[in-house]
Structure 1
Amino acid sequence: MLKIGVIGAGAAGYFAAIHASSSKSEVTILEKTSKSLAKVKVSGGGRCNVTHAAFEVAQLIKNYPRGEKFLKKTFRHFSVGDTVNWFESRGIKLKREADGRMFPVSDDSESIIQALTKEANLKRVNIRYNFAIDTIKYEKNQFTVFAKDKSETFDKLIICTGGSPKISGFNFIQGLGHHVSEPIPSLFTFNTPQESIRELMGISVPDAYIKLEGTKLAYQGPLLITHWGLSGPAVLKLSAFGAPWLYDKKYTAKAHIRWNTNWSEYDLQSHLGKFRTEHPKKKIISNPLLGLPGRLWEHLVEKAEIEPSVLWHEISKKNLNKLIQNLFCYIVSIEGKTTFKEEFVTAGGVTLEDVNPDTLESRLYPGLFFAGEVLDIDGITGGFNFQSAWSTGYLAGINSIKSLNNV
Structure 2
Amino acid sequence: MIHKRLVVAGGGAAGFFCAVNAARLCPELEVVLLEKTGKLLSKVKVSGGGRCNVTHAAPGIPYMVKRYPRGQNFVKKAFNHFFVPDTIQWFADRGVALKTEADGRMFPVTDDSQTIIDCLLREADRYRLVIEMQQEVTGLHKMPDGTWEVYLQRGRVLKADFVCIAAGGYAQADKFAWLQQTGHSIATPVPSLFTFNMPKHPITALMGVSVPEAQVKITGTKLQEQGPLLITHWGMSGPAILRLSAWGARELQAMQYQFTALVNWLPQYNEHSLRTAWQELRLAMGGQPLKTKNPFGLPQRLWIFLLQHTGIPEETRWADLPAKEQNRLMKNLVSMEFPVQGKTTFKEEFVTSGGITLSEIEATTMESRLAPNLFFAGEVMDVDGVTGGFNFQHAWTSGWIVASTIAGRCMEV
| TM-score bin (small chain) | over 0.9
Alignment: residue pair count: 407
The reply to whether residue 403 of structure 1 matches residue 405 of structure 2 is no
Distance across 1 between alignment mates of 2:159 and 2:30 = 12
- 1:49-198 aligned at under 5 Å gives the runs 49-140=53-144, 141-149=146-154, 150-198=156-204
CA contact (8 A) 1:9 1:30 kept: yes
1:372 to 378, 384, 394: 378
What SS class does the counterpart of residue 401 from structure 1 fall into?
Answer: helix
CA contact (8 A) 2:53 2:107 kept: yes
TM-score between both structures, scaled by the size of structure 1? 0.97
CA–CA separation in structure 2 for the residues paired with 1:51 and 1:143:
33
CA apart distance, 1:33? 1.6
Any idea what the Cα deviations from partners look like across 1:182-225, whole Å, max 9, x if unmatched? 11110011001142111111111111110111111111000111
Match of 2:34 in 1: 30
Match of 2:253 among 232, 240, 247: 247
How far, CA to CA, are the matches of 2:218 and 2:34 in structure 1?
A: 42
Contact 1:63-1:380 within 8 A present in 2 as well: yes
Task: Give the stretch that moved more between structures: 28-37 or 370-379.
Answer: 28-37
SS in 2 for 1:365: coil
Of 98-107 and 115-124, deviating more is 115-124
Q: Is 1:334 equivalent to 2:317 in the alignment?
A: no
Q: Distance in 1 between matches of 2:310 and 2:27?
A: 72
Two-structure CA RMSD over aligned residues (Å): 1.5
Q: Which moved more, 1:271-280 or 1:344-353?
A: 271-280
User: Residues 102 and 383 of structure 1 are in contact (CA less than 8 Å); yes or no, is this contact kept in structure 2?
Assistant: yes
Within a 5 Å distance, the mapping from 1:289-304 to structure 2 comes to: 289-304=295-310
Contact 2:267 2:334 in 1 (8 A): no
- 1:122-144 deviation digits (Å, cap 9, x = unpaired): 22221112211221111121111
Specify the SS of the correspondent of 1:319.
Answer: helix
Please give the alpha-carbon distance, in whole angstroms, between the structure 2 residues aligned to 1:229 and 1:302: 18
Distance 1:236 1:34 in 2: 28
Check the 8 A contact 1:16/1:396 in 2, yes or no: yes
- How far the C-alpha of 1:311 sits from its partner, in A, is 2.4
Cα shift at 1:277: 2.2
Give CA deviations for 1:290-319 in whole Å, capped at 9, x if unaligned: 111222112212222223343223222221
Residues 288 and 298, structure 1, Cα contact 8 Å, conserved in 2: no
Q: What is the deviation of 1:113?
A: 1.0
Contact 1:17 1:397 in 2 (8 A): yes
What corresponds to 1:3 in structure 2?
5
Equivalence for 2:276:
270
Provide structure 2 residue ranges, at least 5 long, that are not aligned to the other structure: none
Q: Is the 8 A contact 1:55 1:79 kept in 2?
A: no
Partner of 1:16: 18
After superposition, give the CA deviation of every residue in 1:298-347 in whole Å (9 maximum; x if it has no partner). Answer: 22122222233432232222211111111111110010111147311111
User: How many angstroms does 1:89 deviate by?
Assistant: 0.6
Deviation at 1:2, TM superposition (A): 1.2
2:380 partner letter: V
CA distance in structure 1 between the aligned counterparts of 2:334 and 2:346, rounded to whole angstroms: 27
Structure 1 residues 98 and 362: alpha-carbon distance in aligned structure 2, compared to 1, 3 A threshold: same
Q: Residues 233-256 of structure 1, C-alpha deviation per residue, up to 9 Å, x if partnerless? A: 100111110111110001000011
- Structure 1 gaps of 5+ residues are none
Distance 1:401 1:115, change over 3 A: same
What is the deviation of 1:72?
A: 0.2
Instruction: Percent identity, please.
Output: 46
Corresponding residue for 1:201?
A: 207
Deviations 1:257-280 (A, max 9, x none): 111221132332233222222333
Question: Judging changes above 3 Å, is the alpha-carbon distance between structure 1 residues 297 and 393 closer, same or farther for their aligned structure 2 residues?
Answer: same
In 2, are the aligned partners of 1:55 and 1:80 still within 8 Å (CA)? Answer: no
TM-score, normalization: structure 2? 0.95
Kindly provide the amino acid, as one letter, of the partner of residue 253 in structure 1.
Answer: F
User: 1:345 and 2:351 equivalent?
Assistant: yes
SS for the counterpart of 1:216 is coil
Residue 123 of structure 2: SS of its match in structure 1? helix
Q: Contact 1:286–1:298 (CA<8 Å) still a contact in 2?
A: no
Alignment correspondent of 1:320: 326
Partner Cα distance (1:398, 1:390) in 2: 12
SS of structure 2 residue aligned to 1:171: helix
What's 1:43 paired with?
47
Deviates more, 1:271-280 or 1:248-257: 271-280
Q: Return the alpha-carbon distance in structure 2 between the equivalents of residues 86 and 7 of structure 1.
A: 23
